[in-house]
Amino acid sequence: MSGESQDWVVEADGLVLRHGDHLAVRSSGFRVPRGTVTAVIGPNGSGKSTLLQAMAGVLTPSSGTLRVFGQPVEQARHQISFVMQSVVYPEGTPMTVRDVVRMGRYPSLGWFRPFRREDRAAVQEAMEQMDVADLAHRHLDELSGGQRQRVYVAQGIAQGHELLMLDEPMTGLDLVSARTIDDLIHAETDHGHSVVLTTHDLDEARAADHVILMGGRVVASGTPGQVLTQENLESVYGLGSIHRPAGTFIDDPECGPGVQVLPESGVVADQAWSDAAESGDAADSAEQAGHRP
């Protein structure tokens, strides 16, 4: 990379992110390279979703600069598709899969404009890509969690974008659904698009081109080899990079006995961090514990 601005999809400097009074991400600087897959990884409550929300223009930074495609994020929103972690439609919403995917076209089309041939084609293509075309007439609440997740991703890709952001797209998916989304991610970069996703899976992060490690701030950003070091992982997870099935307790010479694997993360974390994450104070406790880049 030459370091020119056009090489970067996202450039952030001194970024501070809050939810109301709650400080979620402390002053952070990082860049996301263009045309690559970037994985954002970190413990529960470390600020991954918050960072994505800011990059998608859903959350306004309290301070710092955030540029997407070289411009303020609000001017780049039409180039971004953002699939949130948990999309909640009210129980019994009479919407079919096709209706939900069609909603992906509204930002560019406007709510009351008639659908054009190209809009219908984009919706159909997105449903086929996510393998939900045969569910097109089913109601959303008749689907499994994994099928629903694929519908939400289809809605995101129907929109048309250069930057696709997926918040924990693989969580809770079976092998086939996970493969479908994995294929999509690679197809995106084949088309020159950029993908930013959050994950709890170290293997998924290792397979990415670029990694951002969160711990209440951006602790490290770079290639997987640069970021996913034992030292960095210890600094945010407390006890290292050991990857074990969720919900188990381990006796490991490196970690000591009786360390719990967090249910959602599958990554060893110390109790101090998980208590802090639970209470929403992860950013504060990371800084107090001296977990700095």
Q: Based on CB atoms, which residue is closest to ligand ATP, 42 or 240?
A: 42
**Binding residues for ligand ATP (CB under 6 A):** 19-20, 22, 24, 42, 44-50, 214, 280, 282
Q: Based on CB atoms, which residue is closest to ligand ATP, 5 or 279?
A: 279
Q: Based on CB atoms, which residue is closest to ligand ATP, 50 or 129?
A: 50
Rounded to a whole number of angstroms, the minimum distance from the CB of residue 207 to ligand ATP is 19
Rounded to a whole number of angstroms, the minimum distance from the CB of residue 15 to ligand ATP is 13
Rounded to a whole number of angstroms, the minimum distance from the CB of residue 236 to ligand ATP is 10
Question: How crowded is residue 286: how many other Cβ atoms within 10 Å of its Cβ?
Answer: 29
Phi, psi angle pair for 128, to nearest 5°: -65, -40
Q: Based on CB atoms, which residue is closest to ligand ATP, 158 or 267?
A: 267
Rounded to a whole number of angstroms, the minimum distance from the CB of residue 168 to ligand ATP is 7
Rounded to a whole number of angstroms, the minimum distance from the CB of residue 17 to ligand ATP is 8
Q: Based on CB atoms, which residue is closest to ligand ATP, 22 or 113?
A: 22
- The residue whose two tokens read 């809009």 is 119
Q: Based on CB atoms, which residue is closest to ligand ATP, 163 or 283?
A: 283
Rounded to a whole number of angstroms, the minimum distance from the CB of residue 20 to ligand ATP is 6
Cβ atoms 15, 66 nearer than 8 A: yes
Q: Based on CB atoms, which residue is closest to ligand ATP, 3 or 20?
A: 20
Question: How crowded is residue 56: how many other Cβ atoms within 10 Å of its Cβ?
Answer: 21
Rounded to a whole number of angstroms, the minimum distance from the CB of residue 209 to ligand ATP is 21
